[in-house]
A and B are shown apart, each in its own frame.
Chain A
């Protein structure tokens, strides 16, 4: 297949001119944008672009389509709903100019989906977003917009083969009083996987995200919620498992802009066998954040002396009428608990596995479907090569 330039690629499936132009600018300037040491390994070599066929259909299930729900290829959506996409794609939650990875992502984006819930849509069944993108691509994107009073639960799960390095960026924009849950089971197979989930919340909106980082290779997970509207609430939950020299960096941030906003970050992880995990959590309360609540709790359990865990919670407060706190710990397996299990005949490895499960269970149990919970627990067991 012939290799295409960015603009040839974009035009080949009819992207609007503004998007083609934006991609070209992004491609021209990404080298000059900031790139942190942590981000550097997640830079990719530019992919060969070849023409893709775009499905222009609304792929939402019939009963949701009737309510006006749109689930569509991102490039098709750029033609069908140019204003919505132009205003939101990499503008509000993951600004494309912020760093080299973001700009490069926009320039070389080859697969994506647009999910739109009109105002007042209530989806009772969890919606699985897994098959809306092509997992074999390098730069993948989900843009989710929920209108006022919309309610839905989304699930996502990596599957199939992935390239050596890849990136998935997820943008979630919530209108007034929208209530969204997003459950993400990271099973990426790439050697360097970068994942971003950023969100913007309008008045009274709530967002719960749960991400299980159970993939076996190096991972950079960035997530930032902007609690913009009054009384919006964000709950950001991360569970991780680091084994076999794997390196994981988690950057989780909640920004309380609006009055009486409520943000909680909870991160729990296991590190063993020369793995290295870093939980960096950030609670930011801006000047307007009267009555804000900000809490972070990060706990890492290191199973042996070869592994490294680091947690650094940060609170930046510009307003004094707030409640804020953080708890952080990096600990070993509790010797008394281990002894108690051993004293019942349970061998060391299994005892550690039980304690590890027990440590992660409260977060895993929150996942809405049995299959996801089971997959995570199976992964934990399967990858648990601790003596």
Chain B
């Protein structure tokens, strides 16, 4: 279970506070969604959970399965079972996709539990099959020259291979065509279970047709301002953020105003 309490986060580079007292709880087995206007701090939240060097927690706590994450490095957090599919996956020329995924899979387990090369290749091709990824992608350099949609699929492929307990998916649906959206959703659904939870950050309720969420949160100006069921996402799709803000009586300026 992920538990975030009164979190305040600033951007180190310009000292600007982006997360301003955020509370969130994601119990095991649940899929939560965060929606919110551009620039409201959704990616900052996800990067902070993963301990990106660009942000600093000024107040509050992030707790995962009873462990305070404050003192843990990025790789230690990952090994606790947290996975972040990034909004903009990094390209790394020189590292082959398969080698990278294998290193990630092995990093998550003790030596004795690591798959052999053959076992690894078998489960990799199975997952690639589900995601409709062409076989030659294993030999390509990590994300290099991948199209936007291919990068997203590759993030889901990594998730399926690494088998995290919590997957934070930052705009995993952006830039996906209709077929790809279905395929990626199928990948997420294969992970569902009592020991898997997910935080899906999205702008559209499209993906929610395929991946049924337990809770939908709305984030504005660095805080969760509303939580509810899937109907919250639908009402946002129709009325937009300004309407919700006015309904809640919040004094927040949106980027597009």
A343 touches B53 (CB 8 A): no
Question: Which residue numbers of A lie inside 8 Å of B, CB to CB?
Answer: 335-337, 339-348, 350-351, 354-355, 357-362
- Which residues of A have CB within 8 Å of B183? none
Question: Whole-angstrom distance between the alpha carbons of A97 and B86 in the complex?
Answer: 61
A344 touches B52 (CB 8 A): no
Closest CB in chain A relative to B102 CB, distance in Å: 10
Residue B122 CB within 8 A of the other chain: no
Q: List 16 A-B contacts (CB under 8 A).
A: A337-B92, A340-B86, A340-B89, A342-B78, A343-B74, A343-B75, A344-B107, A345-B162, A346-B78, A346-B104, A351-B75, A354-B95, A355-B95, A358-B92, A358-B141, A361-B94
Closest CB in chain B relative to A373 CB, distance in Å: 14
Question: Whole-angstrom distance between the alpha carbons of A339 and B75 in the complex?
Answer: 9
Question: Whole-angstrom distance between the alpha carbons of A358 and B92 in the complex?
Answer: 8
- Which residues of A have CB within 8 Å of B100? 341, 344, 354
With contact pairs A335-B53, A340-B86, A341-B100 given, residues A347 and B75 touching in the complex (Cβ less than 8 Å): yes
8 closest A-B pairs (Cβ-Cβ)? A358-B94, A345-B78, A344-B104, A345-B107, A342-B74, A340-B90, A342-B75, A358-B95
- Which residues of B have CB within 8 Å of A337? 90, 92
Residue B73 CB within 8 A of the other chain: yes
A347 touches B107 (CB 8 A): yes
Closest CB in chain B relative to A237 CB, distance in Å: 16
- Which residues of B have CB within 8 Å of A335? 53
- Which residues of A have CB within 8 Å of B93? 358
Closest CB in chain B relative to A343 CB, distance in Å: 5
A357 touches B94 (CB 8 A): yes
B94 touches A346 (CB 8 A): no
- Which residues of B have CB within 8 Å of A345? 75, 78-79, 104, 107-108, 162
> Most chain-B CB neighbours within 10 Å: which of A336, A339, A345, A354?
A345
B52 touches A339 (CB 8 A): yes
A344 touches B92 (CB 8 A): no
- Which residues of A have CB within 8 Å of B73? 342, 348
Closest CB in chain A relative to B222 CB, distance in Å: 22
Residue B202 CB within 8 A of the other chain: no
